[in-house]
Structure 1
Amino acid sequence: MVKVSEDIFGIAINPFTDKAQVVRRYTISNANHLSVQIIQLGATIQSIKCPDAYHNVEDVVLGFDDVAGYESNRQRRFGCMLGRVADRVANGEFIMDRRKVRVTRNLNNQHQIDGGFIGFDRIIWDLHMMRPDGITLSHESAQGHEGYPGKLTVLLHFTMDNDNRFYMRIEARTDQTTPVNISNHCYFNLAGQKAGRKGILEHRLVIAADHTIETTEDTMPTGRFARVNNTVYDMRVPAFIGDRLRQFENKSVPGFDVCYAIDKDFDANILHFVGRFLHPESGRYMEIHSNQPGMRFATANDFPDDTRDEEPIMGKECARYYQYSGFSVQLEKFPDTMNNLDFPTAFIMPSELYFHETIYTFGVQESWKCCALPEELEQLGADIVRYT
């Protein structure tokens, strides 16, 4: 049985009114000890707790115990929603309806990233509805906000079932043609949010993508796709993050920060398998399915470097977050899609509904089966152990 409860998380300044406002937290839990906590500030996923193969429950999402933690680390966008347009907009402009639209530039005063100076990560979202299986949050983005045309009305549906699936469904409508690309930016560590670099290096991943989005030196997309064959980005067969990160040594980017092309053609009616993220020591895994064409995957490369004695980010329960303490996943349209005609469109018209669906499935795999050969697992049948 799924239960929903609420409490007060803290107080934050509303960026539109400059007044203090209560920030509430909503907890969604099921009968299998899986729980997700969401706060109104940024519609942020503040916590995801789930058991391991030995029934130990750990929080697997990096974040903070109070509003101050999120405010002081805003630039890294822990667990929050991104929009109106997630990821990059090159030169802060694009052509729409035969006219140039200029939006704010919050990335090096040249480009826009994640919706601008007051993106969806800074908004205190309204509770639209408390449901038997979750919550719906809402926000109305005003005409011209951060330079975007049209009034955009957004609903965020967060729900859960007893098969340990956590659903994130996003709906948006506009009164003028406008681009929409809304995403969530969580940092995960399935070993537990306190496990740090060691826990992350133990993860084994599969990402179902044949291509990545090719970029320039300043991380702007070229409009072309790059095949993953014979590169560090080929994760189509299980590989350990630790093995792959060693291949980034002495490179300008010290780890993953790439948008994978899951579905180059994009059909919002089709849910695709995106990837499987497994921590063999605990047995915890997370599988992702989404109707979005891309996934930005990154390994917290810009977190403080403990090898250089940099001060850590102080997270929940006094956890110390250093470089590689988590990996982030961001299901989205391709970056700068409005300026690349070969990418799936991000524009919606007043007659259209923007719909984003991502499903996170959590479970445990018996630790001894993590090392079994494929043919051995095939003889044994399903390797998934349901929570008890």
Structure 2
Amino acid sequence: MQRWCGGDRYQTPTKYICDSQALLTSEFSPHSTEREQVQISHVVNFKALGLYRLRDKMVQLNIEPFGTFKKEPVKRFIWTTDSGFSVSVISYGAIVQSIEVPDKNGANSDVVLGFDDIDGYVERNSPHLGSTIGRCANRIGNATFTIDGVTYNLAKNVGKDHLHGGLVGFDQVVWNYTVDGTKVTFSYLSKDGEENYPGDLITNVQYVVTDDDTLNIEYISSTTKKTVVNLTNHSYFNLAGHDAGSEELFKHYIVINADKITETTSESIPTGRFIRVGGTPFDLRVPTRLGDAMSRDNGLYDDNFCVTSHNEQSLNFVSRVTHPSSGRYLEVYSNQPGVQLYTSNFLPSPSEPALIGKDGVGYRRHGAFCLETQNFPDAINHRNFPSPILSPGQIYRHVVSYRFGAKKNGVPEVIQS
């Protein structure tokens, strides 16, 4: 298991100082060229997490306009590798707009749902396609929490509960950005009282694409008051292509490294109890055809899986999804305790007008899956869950790695954590 610098869940910044030269000498050949060492220094924090694997191929980054939002320019950042793998992220919402992945024959397809222009994201993105979600991803029961005797009442934007940060979340603002080599860091200051959360919260989201067709995302936050933080990415994947729909989604095979899930009410709020997955539709510990699994779970998933042998100080294997006919696969690794498997249950049904996305494609229910690495939902209201409270002087850190590829035979296999 590869590890990263740090200790407890939230640390003071000084405890995250890493010796880049020590990392170079301990994990890379001492004969690395000067050019290679410069590349590593650009992503040293990911390197410490075991995410940067040096090869001869290069990653290119292009930046282009993507319209405006409230008179602010929006940029699109496009990374490409020699294999044809490509990732596009926009500064509005720090949103993943596209991911193009070669299949087993080298043919590219865009495997995430999204929109062609800024208007789509501003006017039609209630499903949060590709979005950075904050301050608090997932649900908070009764839209309320208490810290040190002070009760905070949040927007009730899903029934009587609070979802994905409120009425105006992190995916509905333009982020600042800096570029260092091919690493792009988006930054946003969420002011004290925004969506009624306490404290000025400064958040950086770092995107790094490596030449082995991997997308690495790191979230880093600090606060001026005790607050709740739980960030995630809400990309919708279909490894057959964003236009392939539910017919191809059902043919995917999925593995999730989880022995239990958080039990929820009919409103998807955790009860505080856990359910062992053995003998249930949630047992995805071996490759399972997604269509078969969904038919056993009333045709949908929207559940938090508790990652087995989770360790905040290392990247843990979370999931592997394979689409046999294209050969494409996605592996997810993270340092978070949970992952939300969501099968796009709230996209339009066949009897409703489709959500029109990229290339004029109509997106519908069960046309994609999400794997949202996260803390447990409503953790602030359950003492037996990992604490989502961030205090002044501490650093919130969430790292997720999406590793893409294609195999000639497309046969699902079990990945050891």
- Within the alignment, does 1:179 sit opposite 2:224 as a pair? no
CA distance in 2 between partners of 1:321 and 1:114 (Å): 21
The alpha carbon displacement at 1:263 in A equals 4.7
Matches within 5 A, 1:253-272: 254-263=299-308, 267-272=311-316
Partner of 1:385: none
Matching residue within 281, 285, 288 for 2:332? 288
**Which secondary structure state, in structure 1, belongs to the residue aligned with residue 222 of structure 2?**
strand
Deviation digits for residues 124-143 of structure 1 (CA, Å, limit 9, x no counterpart): 1111x112232110001101
CA distance in 1, matches of 2:232, 2:295: 29
Output the CA distance in 2 between the equivalents of 1:93 and 1:313. 32
Specify which of 67, 71, 74 is matched with residue 10 of structure 1. 67
Question: What SS class does the counterpart of residue 115 from structure 1 fall into?
Answer: coil
Deviation string, structure 1 residues 169-188 (Cα, Å, up to 9, x no partner):
01001111111101110000
Match of residue 50 from structure 2: none
| One-letter amino acid of the structure 1 residue matched with residue 328 of structure 2 | R
Cα RMSD (Å):
1.6
Q: Give the secondary structure class of the aligned counterpart of 1:121.
A: helix
Structure 2 distance, partners of 1:303, 1:95, is 33
After superposition, residues 345-364 of structure 1 pair within 5 angstroms as 345-364=387-406
Check conservation: 1:136, 1:157, Cα contact below 8 A.
yes
1:47 match: secondary structure: strand
Q: Show the 5 A alignment for 1:1-150.
A: 1-13=58-70, 20-108=71-159, 110-127=160-177, 129-150=178-199
SS where residue 63 of structure 1 aligns? coil
- Matched-pair contact (CA < 8 Å) for 1:133–1:161: no
Q: What's the TM-score, normalizing by structure 2?
A: 0.83
Cα pair distance change 1:267/1:101, threshold 3 Å: farther
Give the C-alpha shift of residue 268 in structure 1.
2.3
* TM-fit CA distance, 1:74: 2.5
Task: Show CA shifts across 1:151-174 (max 9, x none).
Answer: 010001000111222100010011
Counterpart of 2:408 in structure 1 is 366
Matched with 1:166 is 215
1:268–1:355 contact (8 Å) kept in structure 2: no
| Paired residue secondary structure (2:258) | coil
Distance 1:78 1:35 in 2: 18
Residues 244-263 of structure 1, C-alpha deviation per residue, up to 9 Å, x if partnerless?
22224xx4xx4111111115
Q: Counterpart of 1:351 in structure 2: which amino acid?
A: G
TM-score, with structure 1 as normaliser: 0.89
The AA in structure 1 aligned to 2:170 is F
Partner of 1:226: 275
**Shift of residue 196 of structure 1?**
0.9
In structure 2, what is the Cα distance between the partners aligned to 1:270 and 1:85?
A: 22
Distance between the aligned counterparts of 1:347 and 1:263, measured in 2? 22
Matched, 1:275 2:319: yes
Contact 1:268 1:292 in 2 (8 A): yes
**SS class of match (1:188):** coil
Q: Partners of 2:67 and 2:179 in 1: how far apart?
A: 20
**Equivalent of 2:243, from 187, 194, 200?**
194
Change (3 A) 1:85 1:263: farther
Contact 2:257 2:308 in 1 (8 A): no
| Residue in 2 that maps onto 1:378 | none
Listed as ranges, the gaps of 5+ residues in structure 1 are: 14-19, 375-381, 383-388
Runs of 4+ aligned residues of structure 1 deviating over 3 Å after TM superposition are none
Q: Say whether the 8 Å CA contact 2:259–2:308 is kept in structure 1.
A: no
Question: Residue 133 of structure 2 contacts residue 170 of structure 2 at CA under 8 Å; is this kept in 1?
Answer: yes
Identity of aligned residues (%): 35
Equivalent residue of 1:118, what SS?
coil
SS of aligned partner of 1:280: coil
